[in-house]
Amino acid sequence: MQHSIKIGTRGSPLALAQANDVKARLIAAHDDLNADNVHIVEIKTTGDRILDRHLMNAGGKGLFTKEIEDALLAREIDCAVHSSKDMPTSLPDGLILSTFLEREDPRDVFMSAKYASFADLPEGATLGTASLRRRAMALRVRPDLKVVTFRGNVQTRMRKLADGEADGTFLALAGLNRLGMPEAATEVLSLADFLPAPAQGAVTVEIREDDAEMAARLDPLHCAKTAVAVIAERSFLSALDGSCRTPIAAYASLSGESLMMHAMLLSLDGKTVFDQTGTCAASLDAAAILGQDMGAAIRGDAGEAFFEALASDIEAEIA
């Protein structure tokens, strides 16, 4: 087996924390690996370079993965560490998501330099978010809010809040936990009120499909329970052709030998919500089918006219 491993990642503090976690786990799992032969390779992606406009104007989710996947296919790196929620549902030929780490807390948090909770925001307050899901979820209960595009890593968004660019924003609790700064959250939002993005809180490792050695290296890091849940959520996303252009939420959890998933599709203003729950056996095949079936059910309930109207609303919003 190879005795030097290159781990590709974005260069943000959160991405580096996740990649270094994978590095530490690999070293702990294999006696022949150490800090000298497992290397972190930072790769700047198109999504990292675009800070002045909405990502949907430039191509969407794949902007955070393309350059890293190109390096993986070119054998410049041996594996790539990603936040699962950033991954497109369709991967380049020859690449697979082989490994899911144990899932972190999937909930969203509200952050503000002025207000103690989301409910405390005054009428007409400015909410900063680039997520259509978070926008729709917020407007569903607070249609009075003004929503502005808010991008950047955790530290950038905290600075923007301090500078008064918005009265509040949302972040994933998992990211704050991995950065060792959970106290930065003003309020942790309940799953019942704010259903997360599909695969939120789950770190995944991508490898070349034919790299049996890397797959074997990563096998001790894999969490089967996380994989089952994330497969269900990503299957639901795929059934709706979901991307960052669609306000979609989903969360699957295991109880014994069963998997339960709650999933939603929303209009951009949050006024229209299509909601499904479903259960299946806790297996990868059953989870994939559950996601497909729930996605098909919601697509049928919504009808193509809804998707056409949603696309029109989003184009107008990001124009």
CA dihedral 41, 45, 49, 51 (to 10 degrees): -110
Among residues 21, 36, 48, 86, the one annotated as catalytic is: 86
Q: Give the Cα separation of 195 and 263 in Å (integer).
A: 8
Residues 251, 278 contacting (CB under 8 angstroms): no
Q: How many Cβ atoms sit within 10 Å of the Cβ of residue 181?
A: 14
Order of strands across the sheet with 168-172? 146-148, 126-128, 168-172, 108-111, 187-188
Select from 197, 163, 203, 316 the least CA-distant residue to 265: 197
Active site residue 86: yes
Catalytic residues, by residue number, are: 86
